[in-house]
Amino acid sequence: MTTSDTWFLLVRYPDAGKTEVRRFDDSKVAAQAYSDAEAEQQHSTGRADVLLVGAPSLDVVKERYPSYFIDATSAQSKLAYLLSIMPPLPA
């Protein structure tokens, strides 16, 4: 990371298959938002993963943390489809 990095707060909701992204230019504001998000998740009944990363762009974040941007329900549907069209293996 460099001083010119932008900060991205990622909050991934795996059960819903979505990720919220917030962008910050100030590291102190980003760190406070991260602390607030962590505290909120402590009191939440839903499952969420909170991550704060510095990177030059959101594209770099997506490249380095792809699991935060994969729609799990879509991936599961694609896998089920591929398995359904595969020919059976001979016994």
Whether 41 is in a domain gets the answer yes
Residue 45 inside a domain? The answer is: yes
Task: Please report whether residue 15 resides in a domain.
Answer: yes
> Is 91 a domain residue?
no
- Indicate yes or no: pTM above 0.75: no
Q: Is residue 1 part of a domain?
A: no
Domain assignment of residue 90, yes or no: no
Q: How much of the chain, in percent, has pLDDT values that exceed 90?
A: 52
Give CA–CA dist 11/23, Å, rounded: 12
- Residue-wise pLDDT for 39-56, tens only, equals 998 888 888 999 999 999
Residue 51 falls within a domain, yes or no? yes
**What's the chain's average pLDDT?**
86
Structural domain includes residue 58: yes
Number of domains in the chain: 1
Domain that holds residue 54: 6-85
